[in-house]
């Protein structure tokens, strides 16, 4: 049986016609699926019971569930989300003064094996279907209202997985999240973060991507980056740089560069100069990220003096630099700490 959320609108229309139902019912069902976030056919209360039964007999309806939840001292909440096959990912809600940011996953596990990231140790399990990505949003948005009394205001695809290696599902999910007839979220409030998949970046440029793009650069030195991010081998830095020039030309957008400072690995003055040089051909905002330790940590965070020197050099080169405060470290919900079996629920 087909999943109702894996068919096209026109397919649904034909199904209804074949079953003697009015075509406009398709719109109603669609609204339940993609606007109201219904979790079952039974919730579609403006459909006749007969139609609901018919739908049930012909389609499956998979819906993710929250399998666990834990809150940090700083009010960040981490969720374990379970899909119909029992596989799980983590999602995080990060409240701040006037926003609630949802950090969502794009794959179960991750194939990239960055040396500093806990998710990489899980290996790659499977891609998320677009309906599963949308489910993450729906479930966390409901909880955001219950916990913080506020909707999700921003989404960052910075959870588990590499979004550009799950390209089609991610584009469909983003179309559903931003579509006027769907959830209608502003693309300006959604950021997709990639480890630098060149083919995907060019494809985003070609489709006129309207969300924010963040690149996990972490080093502008080919040798160093190759050591900490194996993805560099198939996606060399000079080609990544050209892809970002192309992206900027096509979209006109500024690019966010994420840079995780690892003591004595990528935090030297030379590294800062290399970073500034890498970013010169396109407008950027550089987010300096503090290293969060993971279970078998190989790295240490930079000490404050080295960090400041690094930032001073960038600022002297007229770069916009932010220091990104990591949240939720005490519950292993911070960047790079997401790995399925780490969810601890204390009550
Ligand atoms: N694969 C995508 C999406 C994951 S985003 C990407 O690489 O961009 C998660 C962000 O957290 C990335 O910038 C990642 O490099 C960073 N990160 C990974 N491990 C970390 C750690 N231990 N401490 C801080 N940031 C980390």
Q: Are residues 197 and 243 in the same domain?
A: yes
CB contact at 8 A, 204 and 184:
no
Strands 77-82 and 88-95: antiparallel
Same-domain check for residues 165 and 35: no
Distance, CA 281 to ligand 1 centroid (Å)? 24
Name every residue whose Cβ is closer than 8 Å to that of residue 252 and which is 6 or more positions away in sequence: none
Q: Is 33's C-beta closer than 6 angstroms to any atom of ligand 1?
A: no
CB within 8 A of 279, min separation 6: which ones? Answer: 220, 257, 286, 319
- 293 part of a folded domain: yes
Question: Domain boundary at 10, 44, 60, which?
Answer: 60
**Helix, strand, or coil (residue 104):** coil
Looking at 23, 44, 60, which one is the last position of a domain? 60
The range of the structural domain enclosing residue 47 comes to 2-60
* Residues 52 and 83 placed together within one structural domain of the fold: no
Tokens of 19: 């079953």
Global model pTM greater than 0.75: yes
CB-based contacts of 141, cutoff 8 Å, min separation 6: 37, 102, 151, 152
Q: Is residue 216 in contact with ligand 1, taking CB distance under 6 Å?
A: yes
CA–CA separation, 262 and 290 (whole Å): 8
* 120 in Cβ contact with 114 (< 8 Å): yes
Residues 125 and 173 in one domain: yes
Residue 2 CB-density burial (10 A; 0-12 exposed, 13-18 middle, 19+ buried): exposed
Q: What is the pLDDT of residue 336?
A: 65
Nearest 5°: the CA angle 220, 223, 229 is 75
Q: Are residues 56 and 72 part of one domain?
A: no
Nearest protein Cα to ligand 1, atom 9: 158
CATH number for the domain that contains residue 35: 1.10.150.530
Residue 176: inside a domain, yes or no? yes
- Evaluate whether 257 touches 215 at the Cβ level (below 8 Å): yes
38 and 124 share a domain? no
Please list the pLDDT of the chain residue by residue as tens digits (347 residues).
899 999 999 999 999 999 999 989 999 999 999 988 898 999 999 999 999 999 999 999 999 999 999 999 999 999 999 999 999 999 999 999 999 999 999 999 999 999 999 888 889 999 999 999 999 999 999 999 999 999 999 999 999 999 999 999 999 999 999 999 899 999 999 999 999 999 999 999 999 999 999 999 999 999 999 999 999 999 999 999 999 999 999 999 999 999 999 999 999 999 999 999 999 999 999 999 998 877 777 899 999 999 999 999 999 999 999 998 777 777 776 666 766 554 443 32
* Count of the separate structural domains present in the chain: 2
**Beta strands 77-82 and 65-71, pairing class:** antiparallel
CA geometry: angle at 265 spanning 264 and 267, to 5°? 70
298 inside domain:
yes
Classify residue 214: in a domain, yes or no. Answer: yes
Query: How many angstroms does the Cα of residue 216 sit away from the middle of ligand 1?
Result: 7
Same domain flag for 55 and 80: no
Same domain, 76 and 56: no
Same domain, residue pair 88 and 44: no
Tally of CB atoms within 10 A around 233:
10
Q: Is 127 in the pocket of ligand 1 (CB under 6 A)?
A: no
On whether residue 347 sits in a domain, the answer given is no
State whether the beta carbon of 119 lies less than 6 angstroms from ligand 1: no
Q: What are phi and psi of 77, to 5 degrees?
A: -120, 130
Helices 9-18/24-34 angle, 10° precision: 130
Mark whether 106 and 152 lie in a shared domain.
Answer: yes
215 DSSP β-pair partners: 194, 257
Q: Which residues are catalytic?
A: 90, 335
Distance 334 CA to ligand 1 centre (A): 9
């Amino acid at each position: 049986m087909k999943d109702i959320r894996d068919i096209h609108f026109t397919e649904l229309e034909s199904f209804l016609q074949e079953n003697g139902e009015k075509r406009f019912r398709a719109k109603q069902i669609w609204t339940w699926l993609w606007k109201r976030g219904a979790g079952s056919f039974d919730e579609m209360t403006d459909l006749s019971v007969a139609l609901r039964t018919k739908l049930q007999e012909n389609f499956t309806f998979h819906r993710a569930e929250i399998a666990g939840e834990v809150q940090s001292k700083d009010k960040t909440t981490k969720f374990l989300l379970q899909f119909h096959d029992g596989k799980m990912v983590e999602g995080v809600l990060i409240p701040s003064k006037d926003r609630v940011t949802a950090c969502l996953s794009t794959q179960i596990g991750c194939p990239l094996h960055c040396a500093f990231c806990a998710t990489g140790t899980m290996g790659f399990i499977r891609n998320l279907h677009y309906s599963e990505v949308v489910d993450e949003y729906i479930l966390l948005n409901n909880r955001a209202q219950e916990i913080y009394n506020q909707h999700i205001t921003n989404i960052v695809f910075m959870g588990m997985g590499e979004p550009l290696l799950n390209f089609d599902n991610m584009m469909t999910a983003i179309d559903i999240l931003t579509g006027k007839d769907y959830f209608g979220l502003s693309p300006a409030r959604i950021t997709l973060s990639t480890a630098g998949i060149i083919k995907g970046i060019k494809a985003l440029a070609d489709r006129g991507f309207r969300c924010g793009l963040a690149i996990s650069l972490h080093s502008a030195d080919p040798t160093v980056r190759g050591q900490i991010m194996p993805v560099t081998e198939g996606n060399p830095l000079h080609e990544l740089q050209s892809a970002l020039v192309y992206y900027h030309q096509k979209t006109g957008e500024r690019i966010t560069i994420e840079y995780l400072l690892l003591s004595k690995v990528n935090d030297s003055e030379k590294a800062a100069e290399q970073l500034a040089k890498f970013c010169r051909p396109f407008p950027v905002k550089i987010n300096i990220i503090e290293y969060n330790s993971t279970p078998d940590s190989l790295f240490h965070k930079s000490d404050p003096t080295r960090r400041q020197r690094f930032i001073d050099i960038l600022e002297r080169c007229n770069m916009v630099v932010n220091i990104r405060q990591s949240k939720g470290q005490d519950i292993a919900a911070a960047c790079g700490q997401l790995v399925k079996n780490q969810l601890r629920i204390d009550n």
